Amino acid sequence: MNFLLFMKYIFTAILFTLATTSFAQDRVFAYTYQTNVLNKGDFDFEFQNTLSTGKVGEFSPYIFGQHLDQRLEFEVGLGKKVQTSFYLNSELFNYADTSSTALNQELKTSFTSEWKWKLSDPVANRIGFALYEEVEFGGNNYESETKLIFDKRWQKDLLAFNIVGKYEIEKEISRVDNITKAEWTSNSPVEFNLGYMHFFKPEIGFGLEIRNNNDITKEDGWINSVLFAGLAFHASVGKFFTNITALPQITNLHKTVAAPGKMDYNNYEKLEIRSLVGYNF
């Protein structure tokens, strides 16, 4: 082994130690996932809030609309680069549309099981890669979500990219000509998430997150391509950590009859803010 190759291995080992020591948790973004998994027997609790507000605008039937989604997560490392998580979910939607005479409210609760398998490391390998599967069950809905997770970690910078495919089935109630019907509908949205974080200190980082949501339904096909982008923040103090991202809607890249405007305020809001607080055990 020559000297340069030896130094390369030493430098890689130092970076890997810094990365695993500074970040016991597996994520530093609010939306974009990384390949890190917890060690066997390690676990954490996370509480996540997502506030989405502002559905009033061009081509939107709403005169008010606001979502508050909350998730309580228990996450545990199983060893062999595998971890699993369990969530309790609550989705509250307050809204009024052009036919409303009062503020309406919808509340949905569900349970989620999540699995992640790390196949390569963002420091020791050229690029990190992990497979992710999430299954959600609710009273009137079922959702399967698959992620391909890519990331790369340098000493003070992290870049992560997710390709997300979903399959959703939900029971919808409709009333036409005084006849009420309940029927199952399905859609298969595709999402792309990109996150960049610069760490000014090992425990503090600022960066950027970008999301591109594409809704695809059986009835209407590909109906939109909504772009969000905003600032991201991460901090850890001891075993506590927090991730916060604010994502304003930037534009609708794919205009259709179902989403004809520059923005899509029917299917999404003007602004999403997500905060995540966790504790590592």
Q: How confident is the model at residue 171 (pLDDT cuts 50, 70, 90)?
A: confident
pLDDT score of 247: 98
Per residue, what are the HEC states of 103-153? Answer: CEEEEEEEEEEEEEEEEECCCCCCCEEEEEEEEEEECCEEEEEEEEEEEEE
Strand, helix or coil for residue 61: coil
Identify whether the C-beta of residue 107 lies closer than 8 Å to the C-beta of residue 96: no
Identify whether the C-beta of residue 41 lies closer than 8 Å to the C-beta of residue 77: yes
209/68 Cα distance (integer angstroms): 20
User: Mean pLDDT score of the chain, rounded to an integer?
Assistant: 89
pLDDT above 90 (res 234)? yes
pLDDT above 50 (res 3)? no
Task: Tell me, yes or no, if the pTM score tops 0.85.
Answer: yes
pLDDT score of 23: 45
The parent domain of residue 250 ranges over 3-280
Average pLDDT on 43-48 reads 94
Write the CB contacts of 22 (distance below 8 Å, at least 6 apart in sequence). 199, 202, 203, 236
Identify whether the C-beta of residue 250 lies closer than 8 Å to the C-beta of residue 265: no
Write the CB contacts of 223 (distance below 8 Å, at least 6 apart in sequence). 215, 216, 217, 254, 256, 258, 259, 267
Tell me the two tokens of residue 51: 């506030």
Average pLDDT on 251-270 reads 96
Average pLDDT on 34-59 reads 94
Please tell me the total count of domains within the chain.
1
Q: How confident is the model at residue 170 (pLDDT cuts 50, 70, 90)?
A: confident
pLDDT per residue over 175-221, tens digit each?
A: 666 666 667 788 899 999 999 999 999 999 999 999 999 999 988 89
Tell me the two tokens of residue 52: 């989405």
Average pLDDT on 119-141 reads 93
Matching residue, tokens 């430098």: 11
Tell me the two tokens of residue 221: 């096909």
Q: What is the CATH number of the domain that holds 104?
A: 2.40.160.40
Q: CA nearest 186: which of 162, 218, 210, 163? A: 218
Distance, CA of 47 to chain centre: 14
Q: How big is the CA angle at 57 (ends 54 and 62), to the nearest 5 degrees?
A: 70
pLDDT score of 281: 84
